[in-house]
Chains A and B, each alone.
Chain A
């Protein structure tokens, strides 16, 4: 059995960035991708806005991916394409992976694993919509694949459910290609996509956004013929008597992304209910020693640049030899924050430039974020406004303090 120091699963932006970073360590590294090409979902994200922080340029998804792949090409990392990890078992000195490749089944051994498996879209089955099961119901990502990879537009008149970014971007793409988007319906009171996408994808094309409204029923036998939408109350329950019929030939679902952690679950990696990804320390190491998580498998990021960044962090810490037991302190946070990544700080890892990400639990203005360790204020930052769709990123230095019993993030209104 071939042995590797680090095996990276997933060849999207997180896995590629991890592979490039890990290559500096001169260890035996393998990158596994199930598709024929590297790049992950970026291949079909032909819109621009990628790479603003990483390349200081506004790139499209394929350009961002190809630039990363070119960097990887000069690193001499071993890459297995069209390879699927079917099973991983823990052994005395690492992990044994069963791979399905074009050549058959292969077993390899890895000392450490970096999980960069991305995220999946929630589908129609995961949101309550009644009615038939006609063709014409598809996720925003599938619509994007049809249009941007296959060059086909399987819709003329579309309703979009959910105001996630890919749904907004597809609203623009469909409109530009000659289709009609009747409207975007969002069950919540606030849109879930980035503000810039609401403007450049909807406002620019006069596509209406309906808040506190959702699709409750679909009609049509072979093909979708229309949908029923209803207003919802504060508990997001449809209000009787508000039914409205909308004629359309397609319904695009943009109702959220869930980190993909099937492999992590088989390895009993503890998952954080707030992110749906593993609990990790500042080196992206999960609560199971030697298993790291990064990119959208860890938590769904707003931009690819942050996905690449967590890939690099995972690879950097996986490249360092471990000495003894970790010393983990869990980060606590108040109810204005929906989550903080990392969830833990390992006081045996570097502590001077810890990158932290957080999302607010609601749209709030004039806030101050405080990072407190055992009652001592470590850092504070003021925000004019924070919105759940827009992730915040900050550096925290915990190197000059004794190991605390508690670390707390709190978001409060500026007094």
Chain B
């Protein structure tokens, strides 16, 4: 049995998962079951960060992955983000890296960049 605290929502359920059968107990909802299994196989996280822009009033724009990525690829995704400089106005939700590190997940902006 492995003890895992679910981080999907603030309820912070204390889960127990059987390493062989993947049987989960302690969850208040089904998200807990999926979370515990994933945490055992390949822990995933949403990554939030920022990228530079050319605009003085908005030197950076906030970004995030549009889904969860493996914890193991986070360093290479951050390296990719550091190469980017946005030079045009973008609506919120714009994809700035498509299929980052072959994860099937995109990097999207989370703030409207109006370029003023």
User: Residues of A with Cβ closer than 8 Å to B?
Assistant: 43, 46-48, 52, 58-60, 62-63, 66, 147-151, 176-177, 194-196, 199-200, 204, 302-303, 385, 390
Instruction: Decide if B59 is an interface residue (CB 8 Å cutoff).
Output: yes
* Residue pair B64, A196 in contact (C-beta under 8 Å): no
Contact residue among B10, B59, B112 (Cβ-Cβ distance under 8 Å from A390): B10
* B46 at interface by CB-CB < 8 Å: yes
Residue B96, interface by CB 8 Å: no
In whole Å, how far is A70's beta carbon from the nearest beta carbon of chain B?
A: 10
- Which of B7, B48, B59, B78 contacts A196 (CB under 8 A)? B7
Query: Bound state CA distance, A148 and B51, in angstroms?
Result: 10
Enumerate chain A residues within 8 angstroms of B60, measured Cβ to Cβ.
148-151
Q: Which of B48, B71, B111 contacts A48 (CB 8 A)?
A: B48
Does A63 lie within 8 Å of B71, measured CB to CB? no
B25 at the interface (CB under 8 A from A): no
- CB of B62 within 8 A of CB of A194, answer no
16 A-B residue pairs with CB within 8 Å:
A46-B62, A46-B64, A46-B110, A52-B10, A63-B92, A66-B92, A66-B111, A151-B59, A151-B60, A176-B47, A176-B74, A176-B78, A177-B78, A196-B10, A200-B45, A390-B10
B66 to chain A, nearest CB (A): 11
Q: Which residues of A contact B12 (CB under 8 A)?
A: 194-196, 390
Known contacts A48-B48, A195-B12; can you find 6 more A-B pairs with CB under 8 A?
Answer: A46-B49, A62-B110, A66-B112, A176-B47, A195-B10, A196-B8
- Asked if B9 is an interface residue, CB under 8 A from chain A, the answer is yes
In the complex, what residues of A have CB within 8 A of residue B45's CB?
200, 204
Q: Complex Cα distance A238/B34, Å?
A: 44
Query: How many residues on the B side are at the interface (Cβ–Cβ under 8 A)?
Result: 27
* Cβ A176 vs Cβ B49 within 8 A: yes
B106 CB to closest chain A CB (Å) equals: 15
Contact B7 A200 (CB under 8 A): yes
Task: Please give me the residue from chain B that is nearest to A67 by CB atom.
Answer: B92
CB distance from B17 to the nearest CB of A (A): 15
Distance in angstroms from B43 CB to nearest chain A CB is 8
Specify which of B10, B47, B111 is in contact with A62 (CB 8 Å cutoff).
B111
Q: Which of B1-54 contact A (CB under 8 A)?
A: 5-12, 14, 45-50, 52
- The CB with the most chain A CB atoms within 10 A, among B7, B45, B59, is that of B7
- Residue contact A60 to B62, C-beta cutoff 8 Å: yes
**Max count, chain A CB within 10 A of own CB: residue among B12, B45, B49, B50:** B12
Which residues from chain B contact A149 at a C-beta distance below 8 Å? 60
Q: Report, nearest first, the 5 A-B pairs whose CB atoms are least far apart.
A: A195-B12, A151-B60, A196-B7, A46-B62, A151-B59
